[in-house]
A and B are shown apart, each in its own frame.
Chain A
Amino acid sequence: MQPPALPCPDGCQGEPLIRLRTVTKKYRTSAGEFTALSDIDLDVYPGEYLGIYGKSGAGKTTLINMLTGVDHTSSGEVWMDNISIHRLDESQLALWRGRNLGIIYQSFYLMPTLSLLHNVVLPMDICGLYRRGESEERALELLRMVELEDHAHKLPSAISGGQQQRVAIARALANDPPIIVADEPTGRLDSVTAETIFQIFNHLIQEGKTILMVTHDHSLLERVSRTLRLVDGQIADPVLAN
C-alpha cells in the first residue's frame, strides 16, 4: 500500500503521482560513509512542473536517480502511481521506466550511428507499444513537434547541440510517458537554444505531462510551478517545498 499524501502544496489537486518517503542514500567511499540523500519526503502531483536546484553535491542527480531507478535507495520508499519502484528488479524496472518515464540528459545520449528518426523509434520498438509502421509515423510526428522533421534521416553528429537535445526530447516522449525527468537539459546549450527547449517543456505541461527538472539556471526556475532546493542531501525549507 502506498503511503498517504503529505500536506498538500498550494494549488495541488487530486492525488500525488509520485511519493518519496524517508528516502536515504548512502555511499561507501574509501574515506568512509557518505550520505548523498537524507530522509527525503516529497509528493509530486500530476501536471506539476518541478524545478530541483542546489549546489554541486547537494544530491540533485542522486534524487533523480532514485526516481528513475538507475540507482537504489539505502532506505525509504519510492512510489509512482501506486507502484513501489524501490521493490522492482532490474528487468521490471527497465520495462516500467520505458513506459512511464521520459528521461532527458545533459549530454543527450543519442545513438551516434542511428538517424534521428531511428533514435526516436527505438524506445517504441523496445517497449512494443506500437507496431513498426506506426512507430515510424509517430517518430516523425514527434520530430515535427520539435521542428526537426526535415532532418529525420541525418545522423546526430550532422546537427547542432540544441537540435540534438530536441531529438532527445522527442525520444523521451516516444512511448507517451506521463512523467518527464530532465537532468540539466540545457546545461550544454547557449541561452537562445535553451529557450527553445523551455518552450517545448511549457507545451508539454499544457498537454498534461508532469516534469521534474534539475537545473542550475535561476532564470529557468522562475518558469516552473514549484521549486525544490536541496542542501547537503536534504530538502531546504520542507514546509515551503510542500
Chain B
Amino acid sequence: MLADNPSSQQKLHLLPPDRCRDEALIEMRDIVKTYKTAEAEFTALKGVTACFFKGEFVSIVGKSGSGKSTLANMLTGIDHPTSGSVRVADAYIHKMSENEMSRWRGKNLGIVFQFFQLMPTLTLLENVMLPMALCSNCGAVEREKRSMELLDLVGLANLADKLPAAVSGGQQQSAAIARALSNDPPILIADEPTGNLDSRSADDVFDIFTSLVEGGKTILMVTHDPSLAQRTHRTLLLSDGELINPWVAQALPDLSHSQMLWLTHRMKVQTLPESITLPAPALFLVTGGNLEIHNNNSDNGAGKMTLRPGNASSGMLPFLSGNSQSDWHVNTDSPSEILTLDDADFHKWLENDPSLSQVLAKNILLPGTILVDLPAQGHALTEEKPREGEG
C-alpha cells in the first residue's frame, strides 16, 4: 500500500491557496463547466478547486454523472472549462488554442483510456513505437529500443511481436500504458483504465501505475473501483459536480454522497488553542491535533476518549440514540482544528431524515464505543491503516 499516512495526505488539498499556487504541479481553480443543449443547461462542474503535487497518485471517484471524467477532460484538453483556470507546471492550459494544446499534450501528458484502441494490424512493439514516429528527434533504431524498454517496464517484453488479438485485455491495456509513456511525459491521466478488465488484470495495471509513481511520475486516475481508489495516495470524491470534503468522506463513510456534500457546504473550520475545554458541538470532525471528549457525569474515566484526525464525534447524538449520558465536553491537549456543524443545522438535518441518527451512530466515536479503525464499507474511500498495537 502506498498511503503510509492517509490522514496527513488528506490535508493536502485543504492547503492554503498560496501553497497550491507555489508548490503544486497541477492547480485547478474554480472550474465551472456548463453544457448547453437545445432544451436546457447542464452544469457538470460547479466551481471545483483542487491541486496535485509532483509524485502524487490521486484517484478521482464518484458516481456516474458526478463529473469525474469531465474533471479529467479539463486536464487533457478533451474539453475546456466554461470558467476557471488550469495550470500545469508553468503552462496555463485553459488559455491554449487547440493547436498549442495538442503540441503541449504530446510532451507533457500520457493519457490512458478505458478502451485501449491498439491497432489490430500492428504488433505490440509497433503500437508503442507509433507515437514516436511523430517525434522527429529519434531515429528508427532509437524508437525500437525505447519501445522495447517500455514494454519491458510493463512486463510485455516477451510478447512484443504479438498482435493485440493474441494477448489478453489486461496485456493490451499494459501495452496502451507503454504507448502513453512513449514520449516520457511527467504526468499520466487515466480515465477508468481498469473499467474493461477483470479484477486480476486490474491489479496488474494498478501495479504498473504504482511503480511509475515510485519512479517519479504523477498519476491522476478516474475510477469506479473503491478498492483501487483506497490504494492511491489520496482520493478526490465528486458528487453532483462538486468536491466532497475529504475529511467528511473519511470520518463519515456511511453517509450517502449527497449527505456528504450537504455537510461539505455547511461545516465550518474552527481552530482551538491548547488546553481549552468547551461544550461538544452537535457534530464535529477532527482535522488536526488530538482532542479528548468526556462526559462530566461520569467520574470513573469510562466517559473519556481521545479523538484523532479523521474521527467524528457528537455532543448531541447520545440523546438522540437513547444514551442517557449528557453534558459532553471536549478539551484539547495541543492546538487543534475541527470541522463543526451548527446545532440548529444538525437538528434540522435530523428532523428531515430521522434515519440519519442511525447512520451517524455507526461512524461517530464516543466513550463507551470501542475504538477500532473504520472498516471500508458503504462509501468509505479512505481506509486508515491499523495503528500499531490495535486491530
- A-to-B contact residues, CB < 8 Å: 68, 70, 90, 94, 97, 103, 105, 107-115, 117-118, 121-122, 125-126, 132, 152-155, 157-158
* 15 contacts across the A-B interface (CB closer than 8 A): A70-B163, A107-B117, A109-B118, A111-B117, A111-B130, A111-B131, A113-B110, A113-B180, A118-B134, A121-B134, A126-B130, A126-B133, A153-B101, A155-B111, A158-B78
Q: 1/0 per position for B128-145, CB-CB distance to A under 8 A?
A: 001101101000000000
Q: 1/0 per position for B117-131, CB-CB distance to A under 8 A?
A: 111111100100011
Query: Which of these, B97, B98, B120, B133, contacts A105 with CB under 8 Å?
Result: B120
Q: Whole-angstrom distance between the alpha carbons of A238 and B133 in the complex?
A: 44
| Chain B nearest CB, measured from A179 CB (Å) | 14
**What is the chain A residue whose CB lies nearest that of B116?**
A112
The answer to the question of B53 belonging to the interface, with a C-beta cut-off of 8 Å to chain A, is no
Interface set, chain B 100-115, CB cutoff 8 A to A? 101-102, 105-106, 110-111, 113, 115
**What is the chain B residue whose CB lies nearest that of A113?**
B111
| Chain B nearest CB, measured from A94 CB (Å) | 7
| Chain B nearest CB, measured from A182 CB (Å) | 14
Contacts of A114 in B (CB 8 A): 106, 131, 134
Query: Which of these, A90, A113, A157, A158, contacts B131 with CB under 8 Å?
Result: A113
Contact present for B79 and A122 (CB under 8 Å):
no
Q: Whole-angstrom distance between the alpha carbons of A108 and B179 in the complex?
A: 18
Contact present for A112 and B117 (CB under 8 Å):
yes
Contact present for A153 and B121 (CB under 8 Å):
no
Contact present for B117 and A109 (CB under 8 Å):
yes
Contact A70-B120, Cβ < 8 Å, known A94-B126, A111-B130, A114-B134: yes
- B-to-A contact residues, CB < 8 Å: 73, 76-79, 97-99, 101-102, 105-106, 110-111, 113, 115, 117-123, 126, 130-131, 133-134, 136, 163, 179-180
Considering the complex of A and B, which 4 residue pairs feature the smallest CB-CB distances, nearest first? Answer: A153-B98, A153-B102, A115-B102, A125-B133
| Chain B nearest CB, measured from A129 CB (Å) | 13
| Chain B nearest CB, measured from A134 CB (Å) | 14
Contact A68-B78, Cβ < 8 Å, known A112-B113, A122-B134: no
| Chain A nearest CB, measured from B220 CB (Å) | 15
**What is the chain B residue whose CB lies nearest that of A164?**
B117
Q: Whole-angstrom distance between the alpha carbons of A114 and B121 in the complex?
A: 18
| Chain B nearest CB, measured from A1 CB (Å) | 28
Q: Whole-angstrom distance between the alpha carbons of A84 and B118 in the complex?
A: 27
Query: 18 more A-B contacts (CB under 8 A) besides A113-B111, A158-B79?
Result: A97-B121, A103-B121, A107-B117, A110-B117, A111-B130, A112-B111, A112-B117, A113-B179, A114-B106, A115-B98, A117-B102, A121-B134, A122-B130, A125-B133, A125-B134, A153-B99, A157-B78, A158-B73
**What is the chain A residue whose CB lies nearest that of B121?**
A70
| Chain B nearest CB, measured from A184 CB (Å) | 13
| Chain A nearest CB, measured from B81 CB (Å) | 14
Contacts of A118 in B (CB 8 A): 102, 106, 134
**What is the chain A residue whose CB lies nearest that of B134?**
A118
Contacts of A152 in B (CB 8 A): 98-99
Contacts of A112 in B (CB 8 A): 111, 113, 115, 117
| Chain B nearest CB, measured from A8 CB (Å) | 31
Contacts of B111 in A (CB 8 A): 112-113, 155
Contacts of B77 in A (CB 8 A): 155
Q: Whole-angstrom distance between the alpha carbons of A11 and B167 in the complex?
A: 45
Contacts of A122 in B (CB 8 A): 130, 133-134
| Chain B nearest CB, measured from A111 CB (Å) | 6
Contacts of B106 in A (CB 8 A): 114, 118
Q: Report which residue of A90, A94, A113 has the largest number of chain B beta carbons within 10 angstroms of its beta carbon.
A: A113
Contacts of A125 in B (CB 8 A): 133-134
| Chain B nearest CB, measured from A85 CB (Å) | 13
Contacts of B131 in A (CB 8 A): 111, 113-114
Contacts of A109 in B (CB 8 A): 117-120
**What is the chain B residue whose CB lies nearest that of A126?**
B133
Contact present for B120 and A157 (CB under 8 Å):
no
Contacts of B97 in A (CB 8 A): 153
| Chain A nearest CB, measured from B86 CB (Å) | 16
**What is the chain A residue whose CB lies nearest that of B99?**
A153
Contacts of A108 in B (CB 8 A): 117
| Chain A nearest CB, measured from B322 CB (Å) | 54
